[in-house]
Amino acid sequence: MVILIWQPLSWASPVAEGVTPRAQAWADTMAGHYGGYLVRAHSGDLPRPGPGPIVRRELREQRERVMLRPGAAFAEGAGNRAIAEEPDEERTCFERDRDRIVHSTAFRRLAGKTQVVVYPTDHQRTRLTHALEVAQVATSIARGVGVNVTLAEAIALGHDCGHGPGGHASEDAFDTFIPEGYDHGPWGADVVLQSLNLCAETLDGIRNHSWSRPAPLTVEGHIVSWADRIAYCAHDLEDAIHAGVVALDDLPEEIVEVCGRTRREQLNTFVRAVVDAVEEHGEIGMPPQQAGALATLRAFNYEHIYVRPASLAQSRAVIEVLRALVEYYSDQPALIPDSRELPAQSEAATRAAVTYVAGMTDRYAFEMAVRHLDWPPERLPRGIGRDI
């Protein structure tokens, strides 16, 4: 029998000319710290996990059955997927969904897509930061209620992947070309994320998170529906205050008396309200007092933020430029990746054009309009802030 003894490679190198001491110190950690039987990230006396089982998928599934409410969605093997898969040794089916969404191109592109305003400043929300905040609210509620936190997180992270550039105005732009209408929930579940082969429960929650859609099939899906509204009502107001669109003192007293003026107070109030509703009534919902405050807050945002003249002008500009882009690519489908064989102006070419343009970030879409359509820059959507 041959026993192989591993010898750590030495990546440390002499200080190169022009390399700072900090850069050299970083380079010297290339191989980690060898301690006889393990390579460690740090040297010295390190904390240890201590005795206990390795919590692989099957054990976590067993714990769900013991710890979660009877009405929760339970992870089972590889999950209910359109294309059957083998179970993962380490992750539950919903954990795999969450990871696939986080690593997807569609999720990353949310960083360049409008939440309320195009060209957001450093502190204004994008679709990506919105999704992260919805996930935080959803997991807080799911954890407090005792249902599947991971499924709620996966739905929340993926719920807006079907949004096009320019915010909700993109849905109005694309409606013209899609016979069944363009709705970012179904489009995200059935088109954008289709290749990820997500579980039926995750896709259902994404497809039906909007209140105008059919009810989600899972408790976790209902939680995300509430979390989405709670998050955007609070953070859209905060962004508008920071941009000088509204003032903190403009908020009606009937809102302030119930949930406070700040985002922190509002989130705390609304999350607790949903959790308390489950404790008292066994359903996902919100008591009338807090639900009324949330509705009044949403109405305030609608009037003072979403349909103010500058916002409506932004929406009109978004619709105009996106429709022109879809028509351009529908007429020249060879310019659309993987659509070279489609007949120009066919239904398939138009759907491919919508799919392509909807996947663009704000900046890329507007750059393509200037490059290919000679779109006048002054007709592009404008950001909204103190200077506008």
> According to the model, what pLDDT value does residue 196 have?
98
Q: Whole-angstrom Cα distance, residue 53 to residue 45?
A: 23
Q: Point out the least confidently predicted range of 29-33, 46-50, 120-124, 298-302.
A: 120-124
338: which 2 tokens? 């993987």
Per-residue model confidence (pLDDT) at position 120: 76
Domains present along the chain, CATH in parentheses: 57-309 (1.10.3210.10)
Angle at 215 between CA 214 and CA 216, to 5 degrees: 115
Across the range 96-102, mean pLDDT stands at: 98
pLDDT (average), residues 103-129: 91
Do the beta carbons of residue 354 and residue 326 sit within 8 Å? yes
Higher pLDDT, 33 or 217: 217
The pLDDT of residue 255: 96
| Paired tokens of 286 | 């919100």
Q: What is the DSSP string of 307-338?
A: TSHHHHHHHHHHHHHHHHHHHHHHH-GGGSTT
Instruction: Output b/e per residue, 142-161; b: 16+ Cβ within 10 A.
Output: bebbbbbbbbbbbbbbbbbb
pLDDT for position 119: 76
User: Which DSSP helix (H) or strand (E) runs through 57?
Assistant: helix 57-67
Q: Give the whole-angstrom CA distance, residue 324 versus residue 369.
A: 8
Q: Lowest mean pLDDT: which of 55-69, 116-130, 230-244?
A: 116-130
Give the pLDDT band of residue 341 (cuts 50, 70, 90). confident
Residues 6+ apart with CB under 8 A from 283: 277
For residue range 131-155, what is the model confidence (pLDDT) as tens digits? 999 999 999 999 999 999 999 999 9
Q: Using 50, 70 and 90 to split pLDDT, how confident is the model at 383?
A: confident
Cα–Cα nearest to 155, from 83, 63, 228, 86: 228
* pLDDT score, position 386: 41
Segment 287-316 mean pLDDT: 95
Instruction: Say what the pLDDT of residue 209 is.
Output: 98
Q: How confident is the model at residue 385 (pLDDT cuts 50, 70, 90)?
A: low
Q: What is the pTM of this model?
A: 0.93
Q: Give the mean model confidence (pLDDT) for residues 322-345.
A: 93
**pLDDT for 266 beyond 70:** yes
Query: Taking the CB of residue 236, how many other CB atoms lie within 10 A of it?
Result: 24
pLDDT of residue 35: 83
Asked whether residue 19 carries a pLDDT value surpassing 80, the answer given is yes
Please determine, for residue 16, whether its predicted confidence score (pLDDT) is greater than 90. Answer: no
* Chain CA centroid to CA 79, Å: 22
Task: Give the model confidence (pLDDT) of 344-363 as tens digits.
Answer: 999 999 999 999 999 999 99
User: Which segments of the chain are extended strands (E)?
Assistant: 33-34, 39-40
Residue 388: predicted pLDDT: 34
Give how far Cα 182 sits from Cα of 164, 306, 377, Å: 10, 20, 27
- pLDDT of the residue at 121: 74
pLDDT band at residue 336 using 50, 70 and 90 as cut-offs: very high
Helix (H, G, I), strand (E, B) or coil at 31: coil
Q: What is the mean pLDDT of residues 88-99?
A: 98
Q: Return mean pLDDT, the chain.
A: 93
| Residue with more model confidence, 388 or 120 | 120
How open is the CA angle 365-367-371, to the nearest 5 degrees?
120
Q: Reply yes or no on whether the pLDDT at 295 is more than 90.
A: yes
d(CA 388, CA 124): 15
| pLDDT (0 to 100) of residue 355 | 97
**What pLDDT was estimated at residue 387?**
37
